[in-house]
Amino acid sequence: MVFDSQSLQVYLVGGTQDVHNDVDAFLEKVELAMQNGITAFQYREKGNSTLRPNERIDLGLQLRTLCTHYAIPLIVDDDYRLAQQINADGVHIGQNDTKVDQVSVAVGHQMFIGYSCNTPAQVEHANLMDFVDYIGCGPVFPTTSKADADPAIGLSELSRLNTLSIHPVVAIGGITEENMQAVHKTGVAGLGVISLIFNSDDLVATIKQMKSLYK
Ligand code: TZP
Ligand code: MG
């Protein structure tokens, strides 16, 4: 799949740990989110996940089928080998993961690459990397979905990083129904969310609200 920055607009991130370690409930929510127009999905099996490596491949292959069916990119967090095993469209790399240039060499040009940056120096460094397709900036606000999250950067810093970056930016961390409009106003290419969608009482309405920002 060719990278298209519009696919960052409503970017759902998650793994079974985000749905009580219940694989079926996770798949059901992800498919409902896809039916309702999320524009990308990142498979992020982390934290309290109880899935073994083979189970991650099995689930990843099911996500591959769903993403193909709904024509949205499948991105794998951190684990570029898993990304290769399930034929993902992209891989998302953090500052503490395998070095992003090494990942780029390993996956070649067919897979697109997202990279987490939350300081001006990190963004400037990413600007020098032409193999990076987008960057993720955050947490914008405090989050409970990532145990080792850095301190929140806030809206004005997000805006500064977005201006500095030559790559499209996905904002992530603590995005809610109340603050999504302000996050969008910083000019970012997209909103990355876990709990806003997975914990929503009305997932259909939540996605609709997110999509309306980019109309
Ligand atoms: N990276 C930075 S913050 C975060 C990740 C994966 C967690 C986002 O989760 P939530 O529930 O949308 O705050
Ligand atoms: Mg990571």
Is 5 a residue of the active site?
no
Q: Is the pTM of this model over 0.95?
A: yes
pLDDT of residue 110: 85
Is 44 a residue of the active site?
yes
Q: Does residue 173 line the site of ligand 1, with CB under 6 A?
A: yes
CA dist., res. 180 & res. 184, Å (int)? 6
Q: Which of 24, 14, 13 lies closest to 48, judged by CA? A: 14
pLDDT tens digit at each of 215 positions of the chain: 899 999 999 999 999 999 999 999 999 999 999 999 999 999 999 999 999 999 999 999 999 999 999 999 999 999 999 999 999 999 999 999 899 999 999 999 889 999 999 999 999 999 999 999 999 999 999 999 999 999 999 999 999 999 999 999 999 999 999 999 999 999 999 999 999 999 999 999 999 999 999 99
- From ligand 1's centre to the CA of 109, what distance in Å? 27
CA dist., res. 213 & res. 215, Å (int)? 6
Contact between residue 113 and residue 135 where contact means Cβ atoms under 8 Å apart: no
Closest atom, ligand 1, to C-alpha of 143: 13
Q: Does residue 207 line the site of ligand 1, with CB under 6 A?
A: no
CA dist., res. 196 & res. 179, Å (int)? 11
| Annotated domain spans of the chain | 5-212
Fold of 5-212: TIM Barrel (3.20.20)
**204 membership: H or E segment, kind and range:** helix 203-213
Q: Does residue 15 line the site of ligand 1, with CB under 6 A?
A: no
Is 116 a residue of the active site?
yes
